[in-house]
Amino acid sequence: MLRLLCFCFALALFGCADAPAPAAPPVESAPVPIQTRADSVALQAIAASGGFDAWNALPALRFDFGVERGGQQQTAARHYWDKQQNRYRVEWPGGADSTYVALFTAWPDSGRAFVNGTPLDGEAGTEAMETARSRTINDTYWLLAPLKLFDDGVTRTFVPDSSDAATDVIRLSFDGVGLTPGDQYWLFIDRETGRLTKWAFVLEGNPTPRSFEWTAYQTLQSPEGRVLLSARKQAIGGPIAILTDNLVAPATVDSTLFTDPQPRL
C-alpha cells in the first residue's frame, strides 16, 4: 500500500494514488479458523483458487503486470518468485533503453538493484529498491487477492445488502497492515464456483470508488493440485484493464535468476 512512483500506467489509472495492495507476500498458510459467514465465503474463494496446499507447494511463479488501454498494452513489471526459498526478482522499464532489475531474498529490506546490469548505489539504489517493494506489493495483490483473505490484519465482513442469490459479497478492512490501513475492498464471490468475479475498492489516498471484473482465469499445475489465477481485470465503466498475465509455474527454479543482474524476463 505504498504510493507507487509515477509510472505512466499508474498516472493513467490511479494518478499516483495509493495502489491497492494491503499485504505483501507470502500468502499465509492453513489451517484457518472459520468463525463467521465471511470466513466461510473467504474459504470458498481460496478453495476455488486451488486451496492452500496447492498454492504452498507451487515451486515458483512467473508473471507480468501491465495495463491495457484502447487495445494497447504496456508492461509495467516482470516478476519471478521462488516461493520455496522466498527469493524474488522484479524487472521494470526505466526508459527507452534502460531496464531495472532488483534481486532480493524474503522481503526487500535488503537486496540489490541494477540498471542495465550496473549496480545502483546510494540514493539511486535505495529508490530502486523502494520501487521494487512497491511493485511487488501492488502487483502480487492484483494477482493473488483471493489467496490472501486470511493474512494477518485482514478483517472480513459479510455484506448482506450487496449479496444476492448468485453472489456473496465480503468487505475487507485492515488493522495495521501496510501504510494505508484505511483502504477498503468489496469482493464479489460467485456462490456456485467460489471464484472472485469482481472487486470494488476505495483507497485511503483516493476516495473515488473503482471496480474491476476478474476474468481470464488460468490454471497452473502444482505438485499438490491446480492453482487458478485471474490474468485480466477489466475496469467497469472504463477503458482500462489490469493485466496479470504471462503466468507460468516453473517445475524447477532457475537459481541464476537471483544472481544475474542483466535483464532476462
Distance CA 243, CA 20 (A): 14
Distance CA 1, CA 17 (A): 10
pLDDT > 90? residue 2: no
Q: How far apart are the first and last CA of the chain?
A: 25
How far is C-alpha 246 from the geometric centre of its chain's CA atoms?
14
- Give tens-digit pLDDT for 7-43: 333 333 443 334 444 444 556 555 677 899 999 999 9
pLDDT > 70? residue 204: yes
Distance CA 155, CA 182 (A): 12
Distance CA 126, CA 184 (A): 29
The Cα-based distances of 134 to 5, 66, 243, 262 in angstroms read 8, 14, 17, 21
The Cα-based distances of 70 to 12, 73, 204, 265 in angstroms read 12, 8, 28, 25
- Give tens-digit pLDDT for 137-167: 899 999 999 999 999 899 999 999 999 999 9
- Give tens-digit pLDDT for 53-75: 999 999 999 999 999 998 899 99
Distance CA 99, CA 147 (A): 30
Q: Which residues contact 157 (CB under 8 A, 6 or more apart)?
A: 38, 170, 171, 172, 173
Cis-peptide into 31, omega within 30 deg: yes
Q: What is the mean pLDDT of the chain?
A: 88
pLDDT at residue number 182: 84
